[in-house]
Structure 1
Amino acid sequence: MKTIKETGLSHDALKRRSVLKAGALTAAGAMLGVPLVGRAQADVVKLGAVGSITGALSYTGTQARKGIQFALDHINESGGIKSLGGAKVEMVFVDAQSRPDIGAAEVDKLAQAGVAIIVGAQSSAISLSTTQAAARYGIPYVVDVGSAEQIVQRGLKNTFRFSPGVVRSVEQSMLNLDAMNKAANHAVRTVAIVHEDGPFGSGMAKILSEKLPDIGIKVVETISHPTPQRDFTNIVLRLRASGADMVMPSHYINEFILFMRAIQQQRLKLKAIYSIYGGGASNIRFVREHNEAAQYVIDTNHWFDPKKPLSKKLVEQAAAAKVDLTYDVMVAYAATQLAVDAIERAGSTDHAKIIETLASQTFSDTIMPYGPIVFKDGDNTGSQLVNTQVRGDKIELVFPKEFATAEPVFPMPDRG
C-alpha cells in the first residue's frame, strides 16, 4: 500500500478517491447480488419481552418467558425472518418485578436496546403501564394476556391485544355456563364472586354482577382482596354464610391455589366452581400439587388447539425442557408467533411499518383455537377462550366441542 507521500496526493484528495472507490464497489456488489457489509441487512432482530420473574407474578412471568423462547427457537430453526435475509430473532427480556411502575421504567431499556417489537406482560395492570411507555417511543407492542378493556380503549396506535378482553370473555363464558346449567336442570341458582382488586378482577366482577342475573343466577356475595393475599379463611367463612351454590373466582395463580386449598380445608360444599381467567384452574402445577382441591374445577381460559402441528411441536419443546405446559407458555408462544410474523410481512424492523402491518393485515397461523386474527382498534376480533375442567391428574377441554377432549361434569359431585 502506498503512503500519501508516494501517491503525490494530498490527504483530502486521497480520502475523496477512497470514498469514490468504495461507492463504486458497493454499487457493483449490489448489481451482482453480492451481500456487502453496508447493505441494509439485519443479522439479528431484537424482540423485547416484558414479564415478571420476581414478585407476586414470578411464576406466570417465568412461564411466559419460556414460551417466548420456545417460539423464537422454532422460528430461528426454521430459517429466521426470510424477508430480512434469514435474520435470527433474539429476545431482550426485562423484569417488571410484578409492579406496573417498574415495568414502565424497564421499557426504556428495551427502547435503548433497539427492539423492533415488544411482547408482554401477562397482567392487565403491567400491560397498561408498559404499553403507554412503549407508545412514547412508537414501539409496536403485542399484549399476550391483559383482559382489562382500558388497554385498547386509550387510542394507542402501537398496542395490539392478542387474547380476548374481559367483556367478550365474560359474554362467552356466560353462554357456556348457561348451556351447562340448563342441561343440569338449573342446579345452580346462586353465586358468590371472589376477585383480586386490580383492574383485572374488579372489571371482571362488575361485568359478572350485571350478566349473571340474565341467565337466572343470583349474585349473593361479592368479595375483593389484594394481591398478594395469604389467608383466605375469613373469605371462605363468608362464602359459607352466603349459602351460594357456586363460587366464581378471579385471581392470579398463587392466590387461586391458596383459595382453593382454603375451600377444601374448610369443607365448603358447592355445586360448582366456575372461573374466568381463574389463575390456577388451568394450571397443571395446581393439579399436581393440590389434586383434591383441584377436582372438577371449571375454568374459562386461554388454551391452545391441541390438533395443530405447531401445538405438537410446543408439547415436545416443553417436555424436552421439563417445563409445565401452562396457558402462560401457550399464549406467550402464540403472541410471539404473531409478532415475528408481523416483522416478516413488513419486511422491516421499522416500527411504523410493523404497526401498519398489524393494523391492516389478517393473520392466522398460531397455535391458538382462534378464527382469523384481525385487529380492530387494537383488539383481536378472532380470539376466543375455551372451557377446561380438572379430571383426575389431567386438564381436559370441555368446550367448544370441536376442540373438546371430554364432556363437562356439571354440577360437580361431592368432593368429600
Structure 2
Amino acid sequence: MSARKLVAGLGAVALLVTGCGGSAPMGAGGAAAGRDEGPVKIGALHPVSGSNAVDGLQMRRGAQLAVDAINAAGGIKSLGGRKVELVTGDTQGKADIGQSEAQRLISAGAVSLVGTYQSAVSTNVAVVAERNRVPFVMDVTASDAIFSHGYKYSFRVQPGSKAIATAAAQYLKAVSEQAGKPVRKVAFLHEQSDFGSGAADAFTAAAKQLGIEVGPNISYDATTVSDLTAQVTQVKAAGADVLAVAGYYRDSLLAAKAIASVKPDLSAVWGVSNGAYDQPKFVTDAAAVGNLYFSTNYHYDATNPATVALRAKYQQLYGDPMRTGAVLSYDAVQVIAHGVEQAASTDPEKVRDAIAAAQVSPLTVGRGQIQFAPNGDNRNAFPVLMQVRDGRVQQVYPPEKAESRPDYRVAWRP
C-alpha cells in the first residue's frame, strides 16, 4: 500500500472514531457559549517539539504576529472591536496527537484552526474539523489527497504538491535549456510519507510529459535516517544529470552532506517542495556545501514591501530570519480574521462561508489575492524557483518574480 493511501485510510478511520473518547458534539456546540464572549479564539497547531520544532515555533510566532497586527488595528470591528487570541497546540509532528489537540482547541472555543506543517497531521486534523464543522486553514500542507474528499471546512493557502512538482519539472526544463545543458535524466530522492511520495509521483508524471526520464526513485524514513550516503551513491551509479530532493529540513541537510561527500556527476540539485533548500538556516548550516542548490516551492514575496517589513520585525523580535512557513501562517490567520470580520459572527459555520468567499492580499508569492476554489485550494497560489546564491536564498524564476538569473551548475563543478 502506498503512503498516500495509508494516510487516507487512517483519515477515514479517524472520521469513524472521533465520535468516541470525549469528542465534542457535532458542530462543536459544547464550545458555542465560549465563543460568544471574550476574545475571538483561533487555534494554532504546529510541531513545537520533535524534529520539526524549529519550523513549528517559527509558524506559531508568525500566527501570533498576525494576531498582534489585527488587535493593533482595532480587533474585529464587526464584533465591536473584540480582540483575537491565539490558542495553541503542539502536534509533536504526530498525526494522532494533532488530532487530539485539534479536538481540544475546538472544545476550548476556537472559531477556526490553522496549521500544521506536516501533511499526515493535517489529514487527521481535517477530519476533526469536518466533523465539528469548524474551518481549518492550512498554512503548510503539501498533500493534495486531503482535497479530494469533498470536505467543506478545509482550506489551503500554499500551492499543493502537484502544482509545485509540475512547476518544478517545467522550470527545470526551461532553465536547463537556457543554460545550454538540457536535462536528460533525473534521480528522485524523497522521504517516504505522503508528502515526499506525492511530490515524487507528481514530478515524475510532469517530467515524463516533458520528455524527461526519471529514475531511480529512492525513498527513506525521515524520522530515523542518520546518513544518506548509500542512497546518493545509488544516484551516482544511475548516471542521472539532476538530483531532485523532497524532504524535511534535517533529512534534506543530510542529503546535502552526502552529495558533497559522494560528488555525483550532476548538473544541478533540484529541491521539490523541499523543507530546507529555500531556508536561510540551510545557507548557514550547509555553508559551501549548499551553494547553488535550487528549490521550487512556495515562498515569501521578496518583492513585496509589506513582506519585507514583516520579516524585519520578526528578525528584530526573535533574532532569527523569518521563514516562509511563518509568513504562510501569518497569511492564514489573516484569512481567518477576515472571515470572522465578514461574517460578523463567531459561529464557525458562518465563518467558514465567509472564508470560502474571501479575497485577501498575501505576503507570499501568488498570482493575486488568496481566493479559494470549491475544493478549498487557493486559486492563486504560485510556486517559485529559488537558488542559494551569494550567501542567501534568491528568487530566480520565472523572470517576473526573479531577483537574479539562475546559475545552472553545482558548486563542485565550476
Pairwise TM-score range, normalised by the shorter structure = 0.7 to 0.9
The one-letter amino acid of 1:104's match is: Q
2:218 is aligned, of 209, 217, 223, to 223
Aligned to 2:234: 238
Provide closer, same or farther for how the CA distance between residues 367 and 95 of structure 1 changes in structure 2, counting only shifts above 3 A.
Answer: same
Aligned match of 2:25: none
Matched, 1:250 2:252: no
- Is residue 405 of structure 1 aligned with residue 400 of structure 2? no
**Mapping 1:87-98, distance limit 5 Å:** 87-98=82-93
Deviation at 1:365, TM superposition (A): 1.7
Distance in 1, Cα, partners of 2:37 & 2:380: 32
Partner of 1:328: 325
How far did residue 289 of structure 1 move?
1.8
Work out the number of aligned pairs and report it: 377
In 2, Cα distance between equivalents of 1:232 and 1:383: 32
Residues 333-381 of structure 1: CA deviation (Å, up to 9, x unaligned): 111111111111111111110111122x241322122223321211111
Task: Write the distance in 2 (CA, Å) between the matches of 1:363 and 1:415.
Answer: 46
Match of 1:159 in 2: 154
Pair 1:259–1:412, CA change in 2 (3 A): closer
Q: Which amino acid aligns with 1:71?
A: A
> How far apart are 1:274 and its partner, in Å?
0.9
TM-score scaled to structure 2, two decimals?
0.87
Is the alpha carbon distance of 1:81 and 1:400 closer, same or farther for their aligned partners in structure 2, counting shifts above 3 Å? farther
Q: Equivalent of 1:144, from 119, 131, 139?
A: 139
Please, which moves more after superposition, 239-248 or 174-183?
174-183
One-letter code aligned to 2:98: G
Q: Is the 8 A contact 1:118 1:141 kept in 2?
A: yes
5 Å-filtered alignment, 1:75-154, equals 75-154=70-149
Q: Any idea what SS the aligned residue of 1:234 has?
A: helix
Residues 208, 306 of structure 1: alpha-carbon distance in 2 compared, 3 angstrom cutoff:
closer
What is residue 164 of structure 2 aligned with on the other side? 169
Partner of 1:384: 382
Q: Find the aligned partners of 2:186 and 2:302 in 1 and give their Cα distance.
A: 32
**CA shift digits 1:16-55 (9 cap, x unpaired):** xxxxxxxxxxxxxxxxxxxxxx9x9744111100110112
Contact 1:192/1:247 (8 A) holds in 2: yes
Q: Find the counterpart in structure 1 of residue 352 from structure 2.
A: 355
Change over 3 Å in CA distance of 1:87–1:309 after alignment to 2: farther
Q: Deviations over 1:187-243 (max 9, x none)?
A: 421110001111111111112222212223211311011122211111111111111
The one-character-per-residue Cα deviations of 1:116-148 (angstroms, maximum 9, x if unpaired) are: 110000111111011111222111100111111
Say whether the 8 Å CA contact 1:298–1:389 is kept in structure 2: yes
In the other structure, the counterpart of 2:312 is 316
- The 10-residue stretch of structure 1 (247-256 or 65-74) with the greater mean CA deviation from structure 2: 65-74
Contact map agreement 1:240 1:268 (CA 8 A) in 2 = yes
Correspondence list, 1:336-355, <5 A = 336-355=333-352
Percent of pairs with identical residues: 32
In the aligned structure 2, how far is the partner of 1:109 from the partner of 1:136? 14
Distance in 1, Cα, partners of 2:215 & 2:57: 37
Deviation for aligned residue 1:332: 1.1
Change (3 A) 1:269 1:296: same
CA distance in 2 between partners of 1:183 and 1:401 (Å): 13
Matched, 1:280 2:276: yes
Whole-angstrom distance in 2 between the partners of 1:171 and 1:156: 24
Matched, 1:194 2:189: yes
Instruction: Provide the C-alpha distance between the structure 2 equivalents of 1:210 and 1:223, rounded to a whole number of angstroms.
Output: 16
Q: Given residue 307 of structure 1, which amino acid in structure 2 is its aligned partner?
A: T
Tell me, in whole angstroms, the C-alpha distance in 2 between the residues paired with 1:191 and 1:260: 16
Query: 1:299 Cα deviation (Å)?
Result: 0.4
| One-letter amino acid of the counterpart of residue 321, structure 2 | D
Which whole-Å CA distance do the structure 1 matches of 2:289 and 2:265 have between them? Answer: 12
Alpha-carbon shift at residue 307 of structure 1 (Å) = 3.2
Give the C-alpha shift of residue 90 in structure 1: 0.9
TM-score under structure 1 length normalisation: 0.87
Deviates more, 1:247-256 or 1:395-404: 395-404
Residues 152, 376 of structure 2: 8 Å contact kept: yes
The structure with the larger Rg is 1
**Partner amino acid, structure 2, of 1:339:** I
Unaligned 5+ segments in structure 1 are: 1-37
Deviation at 1:402, TM superposition (A): 2.4
Equivalent of residue 199 in structure 2, options 198, 201, 204: 204
Greater than 6 Å deviation, 4+ residue runs: none
Most deviating of 314-323 and 135-144: 314-323
Query: Could you say if the C-alpha distance between residues 393 and 413 of structure 1 is closer, same or farther in structure 2, counting changes exceeding 3 Å?
Result: closer
1:374 alignment partner, one of 346, 371, 388? 371
SS across alignment from 1:119? strand
- Structure 2 residues not aligned, in runs of 5+: 1-32
Aligned equivalents of 2:305, 2:178: Cα separation in 1: 34
Tell me which residue corresponds to 2:301: 305
The residue correspondences of 1:44-55 to structure 2 (distance < 5 A) are: 44-55=39-50
Residue deviations 1:285-344, cap 9 Å, x none? 110121112111110112122233421331222121212221111111111111111111
Asked if the contact 1:295/1:415 (under 8 Å) is kept, the reply is: no
Considering only aligned residues, what root-mean-square deviation do their CA atoms show, in Å? 1.8
